[in-house]
């Protein structure tokens, strides 16, 4: 089985529920405060591990109680933390999350997430990586280090998965190092200039990304599921009906499931089904990592299991290699 190497953020999530978002200068009374392990990188690592992948975390936390708690949460999920650095003098990243009617608004302080540099990513790949492994990253760590990591991993023959969030301007050359990009509606508009308010618009935006060098594009659309373009393959994936409680970790769960599927050798169609059902189940629980379902949860939702050979040895991988 291929390894999943995640270069990404770790944040402590401080979440509170409100009836509506406060206006500037306004104080509202909220409820149901939660303190949860989060960060896009850590969430995606936990999702991939909980769903059955061999996951290694590359990142940094502060030398504080939040950092120790985040490491423990990863290890409990089965993520290897041998390359997770503990930085003195820099606080652990923190996310302030306001929940309203199942949706959320997030403000980040990256803290130690911005400490690692390209040399740190390269050193970790020197120790861990082999051709065919998966390199998964986002945009909550140092941006130049992230772009350098994608280029280095792609050069070594790793399958690169890029979650372009929070969306920023990405050099055209970087897209050539991306095998699979996953983005939501807002990120799609920022990156491509096209808001995907219809399947035609979604496809135009996704074809633009393909023209820049990306092999496979996955676009998540909330309650409308996701759209995936890989070569000549176009997939419309609709989520199962669930009672939405909190969407905080849904996108990260989707991406972690894609990484697991690549590592396990599932087909593109199987990968998208797993990602769609896993992310829907994550919406039924509060929090980020604590809401991520297990493999058995997803198999129950799918109404089928994954063939034993697919879950124990590498296969052909996702389409669009």
Residue 93, pLDDT above cutoff 90:
yes
pLDDT at residue 305 greater than cutoff 90: no
Q: What is the mean pLDDT of residues 49-56?
A: 97
Instruction: Kindly state whether residue 308 falls inside one of the protein's structural domains.
Output: no
| Angle (CA) 224 212 230, round 5° | 45
Using 50, 70 and 90 to split pLDDT, how confident is the model at 101?
confident
Residue 21 included in any domain = no
Residues acting as catalytic residues: 252
Q: Where does the chain show beta strands of DSSP type E? A: 3-7, 11-17, 31-38, 54-62, 80-87, 93-100, 103-109, 134-137, 159-163, 180-184, 216-220, 226-230, 233-237
What domain range is 246 assigned to?
3-8+39-90+114-302
Confidence band, pLDDT 50/70/90 cuts, at residue 308: very low
Which residue reads 């890029």 in tokens? Answer: 162
Q: Is 318 contained in some domain?
A: no
How many angstroms separate the Cα of 19 from the Cα of each of 35, 52, 99, 222? 19, 37, 8, 20
pTM of the model: 0.89
CB distance 239 to 28 below 8 Å: no
Assess if residue 243 is contained within a domain: yes
Query: Quick check: 246 pLDDT over 90?
Result: no
Q: Is the pLDDT score of 315 beyond 60?
A: no
Q: What rounded mean pLDDT belongs to the chain?
A: 92
Task: Of 206, 213, 286, 292, give the one whose Cα is nearest residue 252.
Answer: 292
Per-residue pLDDT at 304: 56
The arithmetic mean of pLDDT across residues 37-62, rounded, is 97
In a domain, 109, yes or no: no
pLDDT tens for 287-300 read 789 899 999 999 99
110 pLDDT band, cuts 50/70/90, is very high
Overall average pLDDT of the 69-77 stretch: 97
* Beta strand pairing call for 226-230 and 180-184: unpaired
Domain-embedded: residue 162: yes
Q: Which of 222, 272, 241 is CA-nearest to residue 102? A: 222
Contact 144, 7 (CB under 8 A): no
Burial class (CB in 10 A: 0-12, 13-18, 19+), 194: middle
Residues 17-46: tens digit of each pLDDT: 999 999 999 999 999 998 989 999 999 999
Query: What does the pLDDT read at residue 277?
Result: 96
Residues 6+ apart with CB under 8 A from 126: none
**Domain count across the chain:** 1
Q: How far apart are CA 164 and CA 318, in angstroms?
A: 19
Residue 68 within any structural domain of the chain: yes
User: Quick one: pLDDT at residue 317?
Assistant: 34
Q: What is the number of other CB atoms lying within 10 angstroms of the CB of residue 300?
A: 14
Q: How far apart are the first and last CA of the chain?
A: 17
Q: Tell me the per-residue pLDDT of 126-182, one tens digit each, with 9 for 90 and over.
A: 999 999 999 999 999 999 999 999 999 999 999 999 999 999 999 999 999 999 999
Per-residue confidence band for 247, with pLDDT thresholds at 50, 70 and 90: confident
pLDDT computed for residue 307 by the predictor = 42
CATH number for the domain that contains residue 206: 3.40.1190.20
Q: In this model, does residue 316 exceed pLDDT 50?
A: no
- Whether residue 310 is contained in a domain is answered as no
């Amino acid at each position: 089985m291929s390894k999943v190497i995640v270069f990404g953020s770790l944040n402590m999530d401080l979440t509170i529920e409100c009836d509506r978002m406060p206006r500037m200068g306004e104080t509202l009374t909220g409820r149901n405060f939660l303190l949860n392990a989060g960060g896009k990188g850590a969430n995606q690592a936990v999702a991939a591990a909980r769903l059955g992948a061999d996951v290694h975390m590359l990142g940094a936390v502060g030398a504080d109680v939040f950092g120790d708690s985040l490491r423990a949460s990863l290890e409990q999920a089965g993520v290897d933390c041998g390359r997770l650095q503990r930085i003195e003098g820099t606080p652990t990243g923190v996310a302030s999350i306001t929940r309203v009617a199942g949706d959320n608004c997030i403000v980040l302080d990256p803290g130690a997430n911005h400490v690692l540099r390209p040399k740190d990513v390269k050193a970790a790949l020197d120790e861990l990586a082999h051709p065919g492994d998966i390199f998964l990253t986002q945009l909550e760590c140092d941006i130049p280090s992230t772009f350098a990591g994608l280029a280095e991993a792609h050069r070594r023959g790793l399958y690169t998965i890029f979650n372009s969030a929070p969306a920023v301007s990405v050099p055209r050359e970087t897209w050539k190092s991306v095998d699979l990009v996953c983005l939501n509606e807002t990120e799609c508009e920022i990156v491509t200039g096209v808001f995907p308010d219809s399947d035609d618009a979604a496809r135009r935006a996704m074809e633009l990304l393909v023209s820049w060098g990306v092999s496979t594009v996955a676009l998540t659309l909330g309650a409308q599921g996701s759209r995936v373009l890989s070569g000549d393959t176009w997939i419309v994936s609709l989520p199962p009906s669930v009672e939405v409680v909190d969407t905080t970790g849904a996108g990260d769960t989707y991406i972690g499931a894609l990484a697991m599927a690549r590592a396990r050798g599932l087909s593109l169609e199987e990968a998208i089904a797993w990602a769609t059902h896993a992310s829907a189940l994550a919406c039924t629980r509060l929090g980020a990592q604590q809401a991520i379902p297990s493999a058995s949860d997803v198999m129950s939702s799918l109404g089928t299991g994954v063939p034993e050979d697919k879950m124990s040895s590498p296969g052909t991988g996702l389409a669009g290699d």
